[in-house]
Structure 1
Amino acid sequence: MRTRAIQAVAATAAVLLAVAGCGSRDDGDSAVASGDCQGQQTTGLTGTSMKLGGVFPLSGPASAYAELPKGMQAYFAYVNAERGGIDGRQVDYLLRDDGYQPPKTVEETRRLVEQDQVFAVLSTLGTPTSAAVWDYLNQREVPQIFVAGGATQWGTGDGHPWTIGWQPSYHAEGRIFADYVKQQKPDATVAVIYQNDDFGKDLLASFKEGTAGSGVRVIAEQSYEVTDPTVDPQLRNLAGSKADVLLNFSTPKFAAQTLAGDARNPEWNPLHILSQVSSTMSVLTPVGLPNVQNVVTSVFVKDPADPQWVEDPGMKLYRDKLAQYVPGADPDDGYTLVGWAMAQSFHKTFDAASCKTREGLRDAMRSLDNVEIDLLLPGITLQTGEGDGYPMEAMQIQRFEGDRWVLAGDLVDTAGR
């Protein structure tokens, strides 16, 4: 989560990282830890405070994701005011805007680490943006915890022990979609629109892997760049294939364009499968709910619009405290809910750290033991361990019916696949 434009962006980011990497380890105003934690990093952490930072596209083509940190802000405001903070520390959560541009991600991340001296980065959003800083953060030994994106690399680590994802990987999601299509349309022809980066490519490669050897065939593919104004030309090309299934592996702006374009074409009525990152009501509502009936996606969190969760304690707490502490935020927006769940995940991970240090947080995030998070679907917990850097590996299919998503089938666990 590359044409020449994106390659140039990545090259710029790499140069900045190379310069940053020449610096020494930043001890800042670190306090010395006690006992077995002696000498470990506590930059951004005191006995009464904790400074965290996050980098999100608060503006630009991916600004729909700006709702996510509102959920985090609400959670931290709630624990600060009503629960004494996290482990007795008041949380100061600093947000930075990168506009979904990797060079800007590098700039804002360095600002958080070197000027603001945050304890950890929670989190960065997007694959190309997060990848632009993971070398830097690992060189500086700063936790990059719960990256908001499902690229496979966040789980494999590949020499980056200070970085970890949170949501199920795009590889897992692609396999779940492959299983669903094989069950529903075993001889389907498939058209795909995907973002031309690791986000779209991971999903497409996993879907192909999951359908290999079956009667399901991908017959048309079209990619787009995040700088493109529209995907209408790509969609027209895909419509010409008359495929039975349309895979919409797009971020919110382009997912909405694809949904709208599909609805405008009465001569093509494929099964429309939408990546979960674009399945919120903020994407669907502008398209028109009559135009998104029977669209299929995957999910791992409880839907705030689903009446079965009205009396759910975790959902009630989320709604109440969001209204109290961030009254402008929309409780029915799935991104906002995800932000709350990610913040609670951080809280429980820090609580589990034997050393309240950067090293302790790194070790805790890689040894999560069936940690329950209030807003995850029943049966999904956070679990990591040696050789397993994927906190979640289960999802469920859902279909849009009427004015909301409806769960379909059983929870699918892709662990080991």
Structure 2
Amino acid sequence: MVSRRLFLQSSAAVAAVAASGVRAAWAENAPGVTDAEIKIGQTFPYSGPASSYVPIARAEAAYFKMINEKGGVNGRKLNLVSLDDGYSAPKTVEETRRLIEEDGVAFIFQSFGGFTNLAIRAYLNEKKVPQLFGAAGADQLDDPQNFPWTIGFNPATSTEGRIYAKHILATKAEAKIGVLYQNDQLGKTFLTGVRDALGAEHAGMLVKAVSYEVADPTVDSQVVTLQGAGVDALIIAATNKAASQTIRKAYDIGWTPDRYLFFGAASIEGTLKPAGLEKSKGLITAGYLKDPTDPRWQDDPGFGEWAAFATKYLNPVDRVASAVYGFSTAATMVHVLERCGDDLSRENILRQALAIKDFELPMLLPGIKINTSPDNYFLIRQMQLARFNGEKWEPFGELIGG
């Protein structure tokens, strides 16, 4: 696969610094940092079964470009080197090593996927390289005792699984629950959350759990198996492609269970439109970001910030909900780097990433704030349920945690 690089620095400024031979006193303790730039590494599935998530990376690159046009962070431009890993763990390892050992990045930011982030975790912790705000919710990313250099961004997938199971218990006490899950840490921890919420008393409500592999061409047989088990409350712990196939197949065979959809696959553009908007009507998900297509946000100041950014820096095709996520993660990263000041050692970058207090982002749902600490490695811990009405997601109820 051809690597994709997104260079966002002022090359003239970098060249001038290099020619001058200037070397900051702290350079040995801050790889990837010069007086002119901060070099950031990332792997992302520009190809392969998760390529529909690419608007995230494009939004992050565009946000850094916007910051650079405003003068950078404390006078330094942000240089994002983003390489294609095809959503393949061996490729993620290969490209991450390249980023650290050849490109000399300061840290890894927002690499995509649960099993892919876990594949590079031991290497990055051994090298004491910050692995920041991974685009994943695998519970294993929250392990400060054993892997202190690794921080996830998304809510833990087990938390989301617990939220859906609790909602089923509260609204459909006699339900027969089925789970379709991706056969990796994402899906397995999601399933663990469902079982935890049901507990021993309600364990029998989970009548069938069926997995699929990322490389599977379809999940049609799994859907038929779940229908055959009598499932009337289906939890879809799948990424975009498999989730879309599940929604479409269930509708086409006349199966109408209550359906709960993993937030990471709740994109209208990436999942619901390919499945069919009418076929997606009634889905429930749990989110934490404002839907950019929802008219109720049109006069919201935070939405105004997003809209101005998207209009100027994103192609129309990339102005989707997943790009809102990229906009938000990039803003969080810039916040951390600003707090670092001139101490851009890897140790201080990690320290500041673990000292975020009540940070509000323009596109977070009202009431949700980002907090981290040395014993809190997940940035988002609250979500709100929403139901798809055939056109947009409609939030309901209060903010909830797992």
Regarding TM over 0.5, the answer is yes
2:86 corresponds in structure 1 to: 99
> CA-to-partner distance for each residue in 1:347-402, whole Å, 9 max, x for gaps?
11122236322111101111211111211111111111232212111001000013
Aligned length: 378
2:237 to 229, 240, 249: 249
Provide the alpha-carbon RMSD of the alignment: 1.6
- SS at 1:181's partner residue? helix
1:119 corresponds in structure 2 to: 106
The amino acid that maps onto 2:25 is: V
Aligned-residue offset at 1:30: 7.5
Aligned residues of 2:369 and 2:380 also touching (Cα < 8 A): yes
- SS at 2:344's partner residue? coil
Aligned residues of 1:30 and 1:43 also touching (Cα < 8 A): no
Aligned residues of 2:144 and 2:374 also touching (Cα < 8 A): no
2:144 corresponds in structure 1 to: 157
Say if 2:317 is the partner of 1:324.
no
1:376-415 equivalences in 2 (<5 Å): 376-414=364-402
2:5 corresponds in structure 1 to: none
Distance across 2 between alignment mates of 1:191 and 1:296:
15
1:46-195 equivalences in 2 (<5 Å): 46-81=34-69, 83-195=70-182
Aligned residues of 2:280 and 2:390 also touching (Cα < 8 A): no
Aligned residues of 1:188 and 1:215 also touching (Cα < 8 A): no
Distance across 1 between alignment mates of 2:178 and 2:125:
38
When structure 1 is superposed on structure 2, of 180-189 and 403-412 the one drifting more is 180-189
The percent of aligned pairs where both chains have the same amino acid is 34
Aligned residues of 1:196 and 1:225 also touching (Cα < 8 A): yes
1:338 corresponds in structure 2 to: 325
1:348 to 324, 331, 335: 335
Distance across 2 between alignment mates of 1:187 and 1:110:
50
Say if 2:25 is the partner of 1:32.
yes
Distance across 1 between alignment mates of 2:178 and 2:252:
17
Aligned-residue offset at 1:223: 0.6
> CA-to-partner distance for each residue in 1:191-247, whole Å, 9 max, x for gaps?
111111110010011111101145471101111111111111111111112212011
Compute the TM-score of the two structures, normalised by the length of structure 2. Answer: 0.90
Distance across 2 between alignment mates of 1:374 and 1:40:
36
- SS at 2:162's partner residue? helix
> CA-to-partner distance for each residue in 1:238-264, whole Å, 9 max, x for gaps?
111221201111111100000001111
1:260 corresponds in structure 2 to: 248
> CA-to-partner distance for each residue in 1:249-308, whole Å, 9 max, x for gaps?
111110000000111122x21001110010001210121111111100110111111112
- SS at 2:318's partner residue? coil
Distance 1:249 1:169, change over 3 A: same
- SS at 1:372's partner residue? coil
> CA-to-partner distance for each residue in 1:333-359, whole Å, 9 max, x for gaps?
221110110000001112223632211
Compute the TM-score of the two structures, normalised by the length of structure 1. Answer: 0.87
Structure 2 residue runs of 5 or longer lacking an equivalent are: 1-21
- SS at 2:38's partner residue? strand
The amino acid that maps onto 2:73 is: I
1:204 to 170, 186, 191: 191
Aligned-residue offset at 1:156: 2.2
Say if 2:209 is the partner of 1:221.
yes
Distance across 2 between alignment mates of 1:194 and 1:413:
21
1:292-331 equivalences in 2 (<5 Å): 292-331=280-319
Distance across 2 between alignment mates of 1:256 and 1:107:
30
When structure 1 is superposed on structure 2, of 219-228 and 351-360 the one drifting more is 351-360
Distance across 1 between alignment mates of 2:224 and 2:133:
37
Distance across 2 between alignment mates of 1:413 and 1:287:
29
- SS at 1:172's partner residue? helix
Aligned residues of 1:109 and 1:133 also touching (Cα < 8 A): yes
Aligned residues of 1:32 and 1:42 also touching (Cα < 8 A): no
- SS at 1:61's partner residue? coil
Distance across 2 between alignment mates of 1:115 and 1:40:
16
